[in-house]
Copies of this chain bind each other. A is one copy, B any other.
Amino acid sequence: MGYIHHEAHLRSSDVISDIVIGMSDGLTVPFALAAGLSGAVASSSLVVTAGIAEIVAGSIAMGLGGYLAGRTEADHYSSERRREVAEVESVPEKEKEEVREVFAEMGLSPALQITIADELAKDKVKWVDFMMKYELGLDEPDPNRATKSAFTIGLSYVVGGLIPLTPYFLIKSPHEALLYSAGITLLCLFIFGYFKSKVTGQPPVSGALKVMLIGALAAAAAFGIARLVGG
């Protein structure tokens, strides 16, 4: 069958995933907000004010949200680890039983489950490592993850958000600015969606079209509803 073996199971790095998180909302939400306001206000300067307020609000909310998520993950890991260390000391038989359960779920025979549990129990550090990873499904987080995450997400949001806003800085009529904003942003969403899909191992063109479609739908809906409310 001409099958070539290579395990290209791509895993995006943390930084790339943070850029994707920040930029995907950053390109979409300020774009849609600006489009919505373009249908409801007379001057581009109001769109710029609202757009910048949104970029500041969104980047801080998402950046600090990322920081908090990172800290929570780190705290969670260390509190669970302390618990496992204590349990391995105080209730070793119960913990061995839990090791066996992990392998029972994998479909291994009871005899093999016991052999494995006894072997793992010889080294307490390894044993705790095992419980953390395979019983609880927790990987040790990078200690600087929270801070890096906050900056990467926040900055990506700002960069993404300034793209749709640029035409409103330069063109007085919000209707005219919207045309340029939509053109540039949909193009950027396409390019962004293309690379995002590549990185996550998805078909890039259809991924790019989906990302672009979300932006277009959000902008069209915001435009229609803001016009109804503001008009």
Chain A residues in the interface with B (C-beta under 8 A):
1, 3, 5, 9, 24-25, 28-29, 31-33, 35-37, 40-41, 45-46, 48-50, 52-54, 56-58, 60-62, 64-65, 68, 72, 75-76, 80, 86-87, 90-91, 94, 106-109, 112, 115-116, 119-120, 123, 126, 129-130, 134, 136, 200-202, 207, 210-211, 214-215, 217-219, 221-223, 225-226, 229-230
Contacts and interface: CB of A to CB of B under 8 A. Distances in A.
A106 B90 contact: no
A60 B106 contact: no
A95 B219 CA distance: 48
Nearest to A129: B107
Contacts of A94: 5
Contacts of A215: 61
B28 A87 contact: no
A60 B107 contact: no
Given A5-B87, A112-B116, A201 B56 contact: no
B36 A53 contact: yes
A31 to B, nearest CB: 8
Contacts of A223: 53
B46 A46 contact: yes
Nearest to A207: B72
Contact of A49 (B41, B120, B210): B41
